[in-house]
Structure 1
Amino acid sequence: MDIKEYIRGIPDFPKPGILFYDISTLLSHADAWQVAMGRMARIIGAYQPDVLVGIESRGFLVAAPLALKLGCGFVMARKAGKLPGGTISHSYDLEYGSDTIEIQDDAIHPGQRVVILDDLLATGGTLSAAIQLCKKVGGDVVGTSALIELTFLNGRDKLDAPFEALISYDE
């Protein structure tokens, strides 16, 4: 099954000149979604993770079902101020400004094998920040992954951990 057939391209979203790869069409097709999650489970399972970290918000849609399928924990990496209880944060620079992501301070234990997931890898800034955040709390980031990689943006070059994508777009 060609998973790309189930991903819709939306031109000029969220702003002119951007082609948005919409995974909602994949999510709405039960067979294609199951195939995608099965393929991702094989990729992620090879890392033997203790915990999967999903990056807000579409990364949750990938990481949570995979954690259930693989029998490991799931942790949310969210924007600042969105998680209850004590948190650990990491701030990082974007092309136009900065941002902060957080995890709960008891979500990852030192030495746990961590795989970080998102729906899409573009420039790599947010995924790189998530790697640094997980390492800050003692997690052993053994891998990272996304459903989609935009290879022409060279995001994987910013990552300090192995990266694998289910599908890629070269332009």
Structure 2
Amino acid sequence: MHAYELFTAVKPAIVNDMFMWMRETDRNLYKTALGSLATNRKLRLAFLQKKPATEQIAWMHKTLMLKSSDMIGEHLLQVYFMKGQEEMLATFCDGLEIPHDGNGQVEGELPETLDADKLKTAVDALLEKYDPALVALYLYTFNIQTPDGWEELSKTLAEDDRLKLA
């Protein structure tokens, strides 16, 4: 799945939480996201900034569903998971025994393959602690970090009914 497809399929509440996190913890990131999407749609940032936050977020979500916003969407998902969901990333990396900095930032290269048993254990650990739709969004986001995704993860996402985006 591409990022724009993820934004189409995911629960709006998760996107709302993502942008509210950005707005509350890193105003510059939020403004940059809004500005990048405005530029992409040939709108002036000032026009969007006059709207209430709820309308801004709804507009960003709608815009991120467009194929033309795919790169921006992928980047925003990466930033959100790396900065806003560090514990989730660390749990996943620990489960797969992927070396990381303690916050989920992978040290070195991502593995070429994922061990199916370790993947199942890592996914189960995530689902015990987090909203399944958020876990699914994270796993889909992780899977687009390599051109064709990981075969094991793609299979898990397709077959595990707990990993539905909506």
Return the TM-score normalized by structure 1: 0.30
Q: Which has the higher contact order (CA 8 A, sep 6+)?
A: 2
Higher helix share: 2
Higher share of residues assigned strand: 1
Greater gyration radius: 2
